[in-house]
Structure 1
Amino acid sequence: MKKLLNYLLGYVIISIKGEGVERFLNIALQRGMNLWDIKRKKDGTVQAQVHLSAIKPLRHVARKSRCSFRIVGRAGLPFQLKSVKKRKSMVVGGILFLAGLYVLSSFVFFIDVTSQEPIKNVSSETVKRLAREKGVVVGRPKWLMDFTDTEKYLMNQMPQLSWVNVSAQGTKVEIEIVEKVLPEPGEKDKTPGNVVAFKDGVVTEILVMRGQARVASGDTVSKGEVLISGLILPLAGEAAPPSSSPSPDTEPELVRADGIVRAKVWYRGYGECPIVEKEEKLTGKSTRSVTLKWGDRQFGLWGDKESPYPLGTEKITSKKINWPGAKGSPLEIIITTYGEGKITEKNWGAEGAKSQAVQKALLTIQQRIPPQAQIVNQEVKPLDEGGDGVKRVFVVIETEEEIGKFLAIE
């Protein structure tokens, strides 16, 4: 803090010589003049630093102590501002240059379509055309483009794609795509495989369209278990069950198994809620700080380095000022927003806390239940509070859903 104050007020480096140098320093200190970084040189002179405002009073001290001093150096903000005033045009030109670079770096000059694998089934021009329909256009500012919306639009319009990522790098927008691996014509009908369970359950219904059933209604199955086999074995002298499709030949046959297997599946979830819940909420009050980063160096332009609020949030956004052909580290403007928070209490009551705990448990379960599943039962099991004022529940949901998926035979 003291160094910052010295810099703002300005200071000079003086060289003192004469027989009464010690007397000079004592008188100056007695009169409240702040001298620091005092050093004795080999030639017998003494060098010290003093505020710019103390130069005139020091002349009287020099006469009284029969010494002399001269200024050998100047430092601080007043001298830098004086130097800047002499070069106004250069400073203004530099500011305009940086402002121009910042504005130009905010516009898009190039749009590229890339892929880690060679692009086979889509056209780069088609991707660019669809991106233009969502506002990703050369010559437009990046802040007016919604990359997330563009990604969703490309996925909906181009079913050949399995993944899209739109990002900006300087003045270039890169659209990275991944194509779906499509089977060759006729491959789907020829690839042998089984229908296996992709989750645990109890079979309620099985319909075999091709292959041989390996389970029946009422059987308990585990994840990965074969439900409908693509290996059709001959039934030696026995009548084929309705759910089987035996081969007329005497040798086993490999086919692509197909069918529907529905089963009861159970999902379990845990939830808890305190009767008196403490929650941190934002008050709406906020402050910002702005920092300029160049390589490993950072310069605080204004604002607090740390949050002035005991509780709250901290959000950091940055903007790199880059341009084509630039060398070295780009300039980066870092804006930190501090939001004030406070602790609030909400009394749910015993029943309200239980209801909230059930909702939390259901939320964890619903994320795992597929949309086509049919919920047939729901059970809530309260747990002991443990004397800590927290309601705890265990929720079990029973569904009926299809659990079979095709898995090719290696």
Structure 2
Amino acid sequence: MKNQWTSYLYGIVKVTIAGRGTERFLNDCMRENVVVWNVKRSKDNGLSFYIRLQDVHALRIVARKNDCKCRFEKRVGFPFLVRRSWKNSGFVLGLLAFLVVIFVLSNMIWGIKIEGASPETEHIIKKELSNIGVKTGKFQFSVKNPDDIQKSLTDNIQQITWVGVELMGTTYHLKVVEKNQPEEEELVGPRHIVAEKEAVIKKMFVEQGQPLTTLHEHVTKGQVLVSGLIGKEEEQKKVAAKAEIFGETWYKSTITIPLNTTFHVLTGDTKDKHFIQFGSFRIPIWGFGKNTYKTYEVEDDVYYLKFLNFTLPIAYVNETFLEKEEITRKYTVKQAKEAALDRGRLDVEHNLDDKEKVIGEKVLHQTNENGKVRLTVLYQAIENIVKTTPIVQGD
């Protein structure tokens, strides 16, 4: 018989019959739509076979019409398993309670390990984790995912440069890279300080060495600004030149800004749907109804359930629909020009350090064609132009 496993769910009974007309008994079973399978002849010329639990009543009717003796030998299947379990309900309930407890404990947070942080920084990290709800005893699916935890820690703790967050079993593992304090300068050999690029000197502080240039002087790339040779020519001494020199430099940029730009933005309106996921199949449990947003983004937060150290193919899924709308931004020529200047300035500042900055700009060329404003701009910046080069024999 095909699909015996479905019959097992509803119950299977093994039947033996003996006496006259066993073949006729089987024929009558067929007429009464009693499904039989695994028919075997026994040593005493009787027959044994299997039927479904739901056909027992029909079999009794057939047995009354024949001279065969009918006996139920074996009962297997889920209904009989439940009946036997009910007799030992204490043991079954204890087993189920044990599995439920293990399942619940496997989906909680029982440890937070932090590596690479000093005791002070570790205390700050644990305090921030507690503020965002990541603490021992909390359910894993009730806290942020590791990526969001990482972003929150990096944004709110100034003492760290990077932190990696990984959930292994019931423990969060954090690997921290702290911001390094300025280290003492290593001993270096004799050297000159030269200009890294063409500039006009605007600020100059020489700590060690012989200055060869002055403020407001135009210097070229590679020109020696501070010599590492000090003293008279016949008694020159080689030292490691050290200075802080800022110069005015120039960056030429070409920026194009369209007068009309169409793009999508989030409206702030959202709709959540909740699912229980088995493998790739999802069963909705909350948030029914069709999504009515014309344009939208979808974000999925998937939390897999765990049992001991195993990740089960069962997950809770929170699917969020973020409504988007199309916006057309319109610039006048003047506004487009200002936007182009701002964009160019940001591009230049992206390559500068904290002590460096853009101090001016000059539009070299402007065109307005095909609905676009195109600017060629020269930006003036103040930046560190120091570059060191070792003193070689013959300098």
TM-score, structure 1 normalization = 0.55
Q: How does 1:133-212 map to 2 (within 5 A)?
A: 133-134=127-128, 136=130, 141=138, 148-154=151-157, 156=158, 158=159, 162-165=161-164, 169-170=168-169, 172-180=171-179, 185-187=184-186, 192=191, 196=196, 205-207=200-202, 209=204
- State how far apart, in whole Å, the 2-side matches of 1:363 and 1:72 are: 86
- 8 Å CA contact 2:274–2:316 kept in 1: the answer is no
CA distance in 2, matches of 1:7, 1:265: 81
Partner of 1:58: 59
Tell me by how many angstroms 1:318 deviates: 2.0
Question: 1:174-228: per-residue Cα shift (whole Å, max 9, x none)?
Answer: 443335566653438878565646xxxxx66444736778xx8698xxxxxx566
Q: CA RMSD in A?
A: 5.9
Structure 2 contact 41–48 (Cα < 8 Å) conserved: no
1:131 and 2:125 matched: yes
CA contact (8 A) 2:153 2:163 kept: no
Does the C-alpha gap of structure 1 residues 207 and 281 become closer, same or farther in structure 2, counting only changes over 3 Å? closer
Give the Cα separation in 2 of the matches to 1:113 and 1:278.
38
Q: Which residue identity does 1:288 align to in structure 2? A: F
Distance change (3 Å), C-alpha of 1:376 and 1:60: farther
* Structure-1 residue corresponding to 2:246: 260
Asked if 1 retains the 8 angstrom alpha-carbon contact of 2:275 and 2:284, the reply is yes
TM value normalised by structure 2: 0.57
User: Deviations along 1:229-259, whole A, 9 cap, x unmatched?
Assistant: 578499xxxxxxxxxxx98648897634642
**Structure 1 position 369, deviation (Å):** 4.7
Residues 229 and 20 (structure 1), Cα distance of their counterparts in 2 relative to 1, 3 Å cut: farther
Identify the match of residue 26 of structure 1 among 24, 27, 30.
30
- 2:380 pairs, out of 397, 400, 405, with 400
Partner of 2:83: 82
2:316 corresponds, among 317, 328, 335, to: 335
- The 1:63–1:256 alpha-carbon spacing in structure 2 relative to 1, beyond 3 Å, is farther
Higher strand share: 2
Question: Any conservation in 2 of the 1:258–1:406 contact (CA below 8 Å)?
Answer: yes
Q: Cα–Cα, structure 1 residues 85 and 139, in superposed 2: closer, same or farther, change >3 Å?
A: same
Looking at CA atoms only, which structure, 1 or 2, has the larger radius of gyration?
2
Residue 134 of structure 1: SS of its match in structure 2?
Answer: helix
Unaligned runs of at least 5 residues, structure 2: 351-356, 391-395
Give the match's secondary structure for 2:23: coil
What is the percentage of aligned positions where both structures have the same residue? 13
Q: Deviations over 1:317-369 (max 9, x none)?
A: 225557xxx6x536675212345688x875849x58x99x9999999878745
Answering whether residue 349 of structure 2 is matched by residue 370 of structure 1, we say yes
Q: Deviations over 1:64-92 (max 9, x none)?
A: 5777574644324x445434434443444
The letter of the residue matching 2:57 is K
- Give the Å deviation of 1:134: 3.2
Asked whether the equivalents of residues 247 and 253 of structure 1 are also in contact (C-alpha less than 8 Å), the reply is no
Q: What is the number of equivalent residue pairs in this alignment?
A: 346
Q: Measure the CA separation in 1 of the matches of 2:280 and 2:388.
A: 60
Taking the aligned partners of 1:204 and 1:62, their CA distance within structure 2 comes to 111
The alpha-carbon distance between structure 1 residues 168 and 283, as it changes in their structure 2 partners (threshold 3 A), is: closer
Shift of 1:9: 6.6
